[in-house]
A = this chain, B = another copy of it.
């Protein structure tokens, strides 16, 4: 069979988040996942980051659709952005699509969207690809890996997974399908690298039950439980235990409510009549009869839990002797914010239970550790192995691990976002690079892209503030009409006459400029900027952003 298959990661390989991978055969392109990335602190004023999809836009006639592996933000969060650029169908499982619908609705994109439900085990065709979704386990429900049948062979994309032997919904990781494929000479395995640094096995979701049990048994007053709102396993567990321990359950926070609603609608959560109360009803029940499921594990400033921690939530009041469980990991970068929130909870004299390495764990990861990764590799026995979903070191460690598995892996290819990996009858190789990158979005506006220049300005402003020399020039005579005004913000000029000196500098610059220069505002602004920069930097060792303004009167 002639032809070439290309795998083109648009995001998530060599960076954390915004997972997005295109596969192309001839004139058919499919896209697996469309995630976002939460911005680093230095991307000031940026709310989310999504992959640059110019490759897809340039080839818009060929893009047949997007297939989602599961409903986490780093796999679906970029959809509104991508769908506003490309009108293509989106395939996903029932639960994943429920999240997608919510998200698209929020952005006013739902009516135009073409969403198609898939089920684990039921193959479907997209262009020249036939795709077989395989059930995997993860920290949320209804997740799939994808076996993509191409004219050149079978490619397996794991999505995110762990091999949980005892998932709370009893929907097992489909070892048998992976084993079956292992006999069929799989061309390539693309596997999640997130936890490749962890030895051994990731504990089952059920390991958390022992800790929750303990907490429910020992809590004498109100019990607050916070987890990622998509952690349906965790919500289910809390609801079950609340019932056993005769506590009413209330959901506080928008995302927690949404998630619980979706989970209940789709049958992942069975909530007996009368168990749920409204947040406003909490006050009518004795503290020992209430369990509050609350959003905000990462200390997000506007989240329900953060507000409750500083006694600024209408219903969720945390009082002396209450217990607060943070059933989640601390996402790197969020430590300070989370610990600040925990400190506030301690100040309210609450007992706070958070991940501290003790056993049984209050949280378990959703990603496969080394032994699980090896298990899947040994089941699939691919000719080519490609690590996905990870920063460079994780991809590299994963590649090294697989390269050592000579019994089951042919060749390992280490690629990053933007690399074009091409397969043909002779083998596989990197053949090109395409433009990829981060698009920074300011969520004030649905698709308001924040340009690099703006971010750079903000960073500059944030470090050293701004100085604006303002002059008025009479447009008829070309005369400077008044003493220059120097305005500063975020910059302390001190009390040593710096502003007066700066004013003199600007006057000097004007005095020593020709009429011609003064008539060319670009030139005169640049001269003022340069002179003032030199002066301020000499006087203060600081380099504020200097922005001359000419007012034409």
Complex CA gap A392/B340 in Å reads 9
Structural contact, A551 and B346, CB atoms closer than 8 A: no
Which of A79-87, A137-145, A155-163, A539-547 has 4 or more CB atoms under 8 Å from chain B? A539-547
Residues in B neighbouring A442, C-beta threshold 8 A: 492, 542
A393 to B350, CA, bound (A): 10
Contact A445 B44 (CB under 8 A): no
The answer, yes or no, to whether A424 is at the interface (CB within 8 Å) is: no
Q: Is the CB of B470 within 8 A of A352?
A: no
Query: Measured between C-beta atoms, what is the minimum distance from A483 to chain B in Å?
Result: 9
Chain B residues positioned under 8 Å from A490 (CB to CB): 44-45, 454, 457-458, 461
In the complex, what residue of chain B is closest to A487 when comparing beta carbons? B549
Contact A492–B454 (Cβ < 8 Å):
yes
Cβ A551 vs Cβ B489 within 8 A: no
The reply to whether B545 and A489 form a contact with Cβ atoms under 8 Å apart is yes
CB of A465 within 8 A of CB of B472, answer no
Residues of chain B lying within 8 A (CB to CB) of residue A347: 392
A494: interface (CB < 8 Å): yes
B332→A335 contact, CB < 8 A:
yes
Main secondary structure of the interface of A (DSSP, over half): mixed
Q: Which of B199, B445, B470, B482 contacts A549 (CB 8 A)?
A: B470
Residue of A358, A458, A549 most packed against chain B (CB within 10 A): A458
Contact of A494 among B336, B342, B448, B464 (CB under 8 A): B448
Contact at A45–B462, with CB atoms within 8 Å?
Answer: yes
Copies of this chain present in the complex amount to 2
A346 and B451 alpha carbons, distance in the complex (Å):
29
Q: Which residues of B contact A356 (CB under 8 A)?
A: 197
The answer to whether B392 and A346 have CB atoms under 8 Å apart is yes
Proximity bits, A300-340, B CB within 8 Å = 1, else 0: 00000000000000000000000000000000110110010
Q: Interface digits, A378-391 against B, CB 8 Å rule (1 contact, 0 not)?
A: 00000000000001
- Min CB distance A88 to B, Å, is 27
A352 contacts across to B, CB distance below 8 A: 393
Shortest CB-to-CB span from A547 to chain B, Å, is 6
Residue of B whose beta carbon sits closest to that of A449 = B492
In whole angstroms, what is the CA distance A392 to B342 when docked?
9
Query: Which of chain B's residues have a CB closer than 8 A to the CB of A432?
Result: none
Indicate the member of A342, A356, A472 with the most B CB atoms within 10 Å. A472
Q: Is A41 interfacial (CB 8 A cutoff)?
A: yes
Measured CB to CB, the nearest residue on chain B to A333 is B336
Whether B459 lies near A346 (C-beta < 8 A) is: no
Which A399-457 residues have a C-beta within 8 angstroms of B? Answer: 442, 444-445, 448, 450-451, 454, 457
Contact B489 A466 (CB under 8 A): yes
Interface residues of A in 456-514 (CB under 8 A from B): 457-459, 461-466, 468, 470, 472, 481-482, 485, 487, 489-492, 494
What are 24 A-to-B residue pairs whose CB atoms are below 8 Å?
A14-B343, A44-B463, A44-B490, A45-B462, A45-B464, A45-B465, A339-B393, A345-B393, A346-B392, A346-B393, A346-B396, A347-B392, A444-B541, A445-B541, A448-B494, A454-B491, A458-B463, A461-B466, A468-B468, A468-B487, A470-B551, A472-B472, A472-B481, A487-B547
A residues touching B (Cβ–Cβ < 8 Å)? 14, 40-41, 44-45, 197, 199, 332-333, 335-336, 339, 342-343, 345-347, 352, 356, 358, 391-393, 396, 442, 444-445, 448, 450-451, 454, 457-459, 461-466, 468, 470, 472, 481-482, 485, 487, 489-492, 494, 540-542, 545, 547, 549, 551-553
Closest 7 CB pairs of A and B: A462-B462, A444-B541, A332-B335, A461-B461, A458-B490, A457-B490, A343-B392
- In the complex, besides A444-B540, A445-B541, 20 extra interface pairs with C-beta distance below 8 angstroms are A41-B41, A41-B336, A44-B490, A45-B465, A333-B335, A335-B335, A339-B391, A343-B391, A448-B540, A454-B465, A458-B462, A458-B465, A461-B461, A461-B462, A461-B490, A468-B549, A472-B553, A482-B551, A482-B552, A485-B551
